[in-house]
Structure 1
């Protein structure tokens, strides 16, 4: 895990917003005032229910979406600042993305060699055809495939193999930071661990930094140094992986964790679950005050009237909840 006290962040997200106009004068606030940092060599896990804004956040970091407001700094450079084509090209070489659906994200008309080499071609990383092919074969072997796969097409591979091709494509330009957007959710459970182990191996060998987006909390714990929990476009809790699982503070995080099955049948029967009430509200018309209050067992009138502050309540443990707010907020919760 990265030593935060001794390293400066590789990625700094400050008050990031990504809103979409959806017609009728309404605004969908997919990402709304999110702040966090990612340090060199670490894996930052991002979790939450479907529709909470995780993937939109990841795509905004890499500038597939423009930010509505706020900043994304990569190695001190503003990702969304005005840039020349040359500057953008240099930036995209250092930041790559692995997508959720390994079938949809690969061009079915291109063979594997051309898919993997596309980034190399764009950045002029191979001097000639022979060097290009040699590099592609090395990448295939790195991700557990072989040279004979280079001339095949995506439809000839299993889901796990296609995701390995996607990983090889991301590695082809020697990036520093990889955004993995639910890279295992479309795969069989038996293959998921293999892909996660491959990502960890590559991280150790190449010093990569990851943003790992997922909704499977147990897998996120396995791979992540720190974890951020998103709900309805906002971050509600952020802590080290161990702290988050040993002592979750936000009621939403607590509910997510109690939903993870325990392999011991007796413990599974005896433990108390914290069930979420109702459905996820629409990000077009979110609740006033605390966005989680409509599903929270501890919500009071104070939660309706005031949004909680994002606070560091313990060393490296941040939460947005009035239960851990200022003295006046805590007093209002008890009133």
Structure 2
């Protein structure tokens, strides 16, 4: 049974991705391989973080798992069942998404009460108007807002408060999985820790499974049970935060870690980590070259619980 951050994670796989691909068509018969043959499991009750630079495929992977984007090839299983076997209603009750920009994700013409109650109304989780509003008030209080806020509109709130509204809306259907798409990147630094602490608290209280997408590696280390590093559509390294941060193996992971600022004026980095040009790949391919035949997983267990892209290990004679 995996154990991370002093917490025991169950053996049950709540999400399984097998050779998952998401390609976008481009001009001149080319395709952008945003997610390229990803095989990865997420266990019930864990926080798995996806990190990588902009354009690495993190958000596309999250949106494909959430069925906001149709997959190009491969399989996504939720609780052992293909996502296609769920109706939209069933699926959205299981998985909810928290978006990067809280202002853009909230309807400015709806009151906060109606926004939070969207899922409750769609899934008919309240038998009366009174029960509906009690659920709304309870959700607002859970995320640190007041019941009086229910009658206000999104523009009357700060960015951090709007993100709390988005979290309350996601919790309205009592989901098992939250896909958090860079939920703190649009917020002030002083507010980011508050939102992360709220998510961590809710995850423990409700035994939620979180797919946490971010580029702030210092924050990711704090909240995660496992970390997956994405580079040009592929997961190149996966493991517990202490392994990925303290003993990175892949060149790309090393370059990410070396760029994390350290609040210590006396600390000096002894080496500059650079990506090896021999490893750089273009994420763009020709339509005629697309092969949808399932391939074997590209990750190899380098050390117990610490996985690295197989081709990198072979190329550098590490296996």
TM-score with structure 1 setting the length: 0.85
The answer for the alignment partner of 2:20 in structure 1 is 16
The answer for the alignment partner of 2:290 in structure 1 is none
The answer for the alignment partner of 2:243 in structure 1 is 243
Counting only pairs closer than 5 Å after superposition, residues 324-335 of structure 1 correspond to structure 2 as 324-325=313-314, 329-330=315-316
- CA RMSD across the alignment: 2.1
Separation in 2, partners of 1:238, 1:257: 14
**Bigger relative contact order, structure 1 or 2, given CA contacts below 8 A and separation 6+?**
2
Q: Is the aligned partner of 1:94 residue 2:98?
A: no
Shift of the alpha carbon at 1:120? 0.6
The answer for the alignment partner of 2:304 in structure 1 is 315
Check conservation: 2:49, 2:212, Cα contact below 8 A: yes
Separation in 1, partners of 2:240, 2:108: 40
Q: Is the aligned partner of 1:43 residue 2:32?
A: no
Q: Deviations over 1:215-257 (max 9, x none)?
A: 0111111000000000001110001111111101101001100
The answer for the alignment partner of 1:303 in structure 2 is none
Separation in 2, partners of 1:265, 1:9: 43
Shift of the alpha carbon at 1:283? 2.7
Separation in 1, partners of 2:74, 2:236: 18
- Judged with a 3 Å threshold, the aligned counterparts in structure 2 of structure 1 residues 270 and 78 are, in CA distance, closer, same or farther, namely closer
Q: Is the aligned partner of 1:146 residue 2:146?
A: yes
Question: Runs in 1 of length 4+ with deviation above 2 angstroms?
Answer: 1-4, 269-273, 275-278, 280-286, 321-325
The answer for the alignment partner of 1:263 in structure 2 is 263
Counting only pairs closer than 5 Å after superposition, residues 32-71 of structure 1 correspond to structure 2 as 32-71=36-75
Shift of the alpha carbon at 1:37? 0.8
SS in 2 for 1:10: strand
The answer for the alignment partner of 2:118 in structure 1 is 118
SS in 2 for 1:266: coil
Check conservation: 1:259, 1:273, Cα contact below 8 A: no
Number of residue-to-residue matches in the alignment: 302
TM-score with structure 2 setting the length: 0.90
The answer for the alignment partner of 1:298 in structure 2 is none
Q: Is the aligned partner of 1:74 residue 2:78?
A: yes
Check conservation: 2:18, 2:75, Cα contact below 8 A: yes
Shift of the alpha carbon at 1:199? 0.3
Counting only pairs closer than 5 Å after superposition, residues 126-165 of structure 1 correspond to structure 2 as 126-165=126-165
Check conservation: 2:251, 2:275, Cα contact below 8 A: no
Shift of the alpha carbon at 1:262? 1.3
Q: Deviations over 1:75-109 (max 9, x none)?
A: 11111x255xxx33112101000000000000111
Check conservation: 1:54, 1:213, Cα contact below 8 A: yes
Unaligned runs of 5+ in 2: 287-296
Check conservation: 1:178, 1:211, Cα contact below 8 A: yes
Separation in 2, partners of 1:149, 1:282: 48
Q: Is the aligned partner of 1:214 residue 2:214?
A: yes
Check conservation: 2:251, 2:276, Cα contact below 8 A: no
Shift of the alpha carbon at 1:20? 1.1
Q: Is the aligned partner of 1:7 residue 2:6?
A: no
Check conservation: 1:250, 1:321, Cα contact below 8 A: no
Stretch moving more, 309-318 or 208-217: 309-318
Unaligned runs of 5+ in 1: 287-307
Stretch moving more, 21-30 or 218-227: 21-30
